[in-house]
Amino acid sequence: MKVAVVGLGLIGGSFALTLHKKGVVDSIVGVEANPLHAAKALELGIVDSIVTLDEAICCADIIALAVPVDVIPTIAVKLLNRVSDNQIVMDMGSTKEELCDVVSQHPKRSRFVATHPMWGTEFSGPCAARSDAFAYRNVVICESEKSDKDAVKVVSDLYTALGMSVIEMGAEEHDLHAAYVSHISHITSFILSTTVLEKEREEETIFNLAGGGFDSTVRLAKSSAQTWIPIFLQNKYNVLDVLREYIHQLNLFRKALEKDDVQTLREIITKANEIKKVLHKNQ
């Protein structure tokens, strides 16, 4: 089996690198618009060769799209226009509703599998790729009922071989949940960082006083704007709903603090503590 990965950044690079490490495919080719990234991916052994998108269509059994979400729909349609009934097109993007809408009426929709591996870091580019990236993580497959069973099985088996657990979900449901558990975390990190940088002018003070809590909270602020602006825009309405609730909760905390309302502050923090039961329920 030959796999082509379009986009050799953090996600695509990690996917290719892990496939190499696990030895579950015969060969991996990469499609990368950035010549520096393409050269680095070859140097690091992430892919066996760099090819054009046209060449990938001709040679690959599976074509995985790991590019920014705003360009995935266009490339997905272009690929579906040309792939055979035996080839599979899959994506690895963080938003699904718009993409699934775009491909929904395509004659070869059944050869497309919409996926979202639930993993990432604040880093980008092929140098950020990790061969242990997907172990013990979940991957969401959206609208699997609209994909051929053989295509879903091949993609599911690939992810399982990388150590992932497969979850099936609707595209709309996925985007709503992703807004809460992923997208708002990045916004919080971006805004906290800009708040500190705006109010705390002494860089040395930030460096000296920042503890582990601050560092972990703003870790995601190092994430690429090229990656995240398209995600926010594609999931705009879900993100806005989450932001309204988030701002409401901030206002509750602010009012309690203004009034020295110890009881309300305790209730807010105690309720927040319950998140550990959710995150660690299987540990």
Helix spans in the chain (H): 10-22, 35-43, 53-59, 72-80, 97-103, 149-161, 171-178, 184-199, 203-209, 212-217, 225-234, 236-258, 262-273, 275-279
Determine the longest span between alpha carbons in the chain, in angstroms: 68
Q: Residues 29-88: pLDDT tens digits?
A: 999 999 999 999 999 999 999 999 999 999 999 999 999 999 999 999 999 999 999 999
Where among 170, 190, 223 does a domain terminate?
A: 170
Q: How confident is the model at residue 207 (pLDDT cuts 50, 70, 90)?
A: low
Residues 40 and 93 in one domain: yes
DSSP state of 245: H
Does the predicted model carry a pTM greater than 0.95? no
Where among 126, 155, 170 does a domain terminate?
A: 170
pLDDT value at 277 more than 60: yes
pLDDT value at 208 more than 70: no
Query: Residue 16: in which H helix or E strand, if any?
Result: helix 10-22
pLDDT value at 245 more than 90: yes
Q: How confident is the model at residue 161 (pLDDT cuts 50, 70, 90)?
A: very high
* Mean pLDDT for the stretch of residues 246-270: 96
Please state, in angstroms and rounded to a whole number, the distance separating the CA atoms of residues 39 and 58.
22
Residues 35 and 57 in one domain: yes
What CATH number should be reported for the domain holding residue 266?
1.10.3660.10
pLDDT value at 283 more than 60: no
* Residue 184: per-residue pLDDT: 93
Where among 170, 205, 230 does a domain terminate?
A: 170
Residues 18 and 144 in one domain: yes
What CATH number should be reported for the domain holding residue 163?
3.40.50.720
Q: How confident is the model at residue 100 (pLDDT cuts 50, 70, 90)?
A: very high
Which percentage of the chain shows pLDDT scores above 90? 81
* Residue 72: per-residue pLDDT: 98
pLDDT value at 178 more than 60: yes
Residues 18 and 123 in one domain: yes
**Which residues form the domain of 39?**
2-170
* Residue 153: per-residue pLDDT: 98
Domains of the chain: total: 2
Q: How confident is the model at residue 220 (pLDDT cuts 50, 70, 90)?
A: confident
Q: Residues 145-157: pLDDT tens digits?
A: 999 999 999 999 9
What would the two tokens of residue 6 be? Answer: 């379009």
For the residues of 172-189, what is the DSSP string, one character each? Answer: HHHHHHHIIIIIHHHHHH
Q: Which of 51-60, 94-103, 184-193, 203-212 has the lowest mean pLDDT?
A: 203-212
pLDDT value at 282 more than 60: no
Residues 138 and 204 in one domain: no
Residues 16 and 146 in one domain: yes
What would the two tokens of residue 136 be? Answer: 């013990």
Residues 136 and 204 in one domain: no
* Residue 11: per-residue pLDDT: 96
pLDDT value at 181 more than 60: yes
Residues 242 and 157 in one domain: no
Residues 145 and 223 in one domain: no
Residues 8 and 136 in one domain: yes
Find the length of the chain. 283
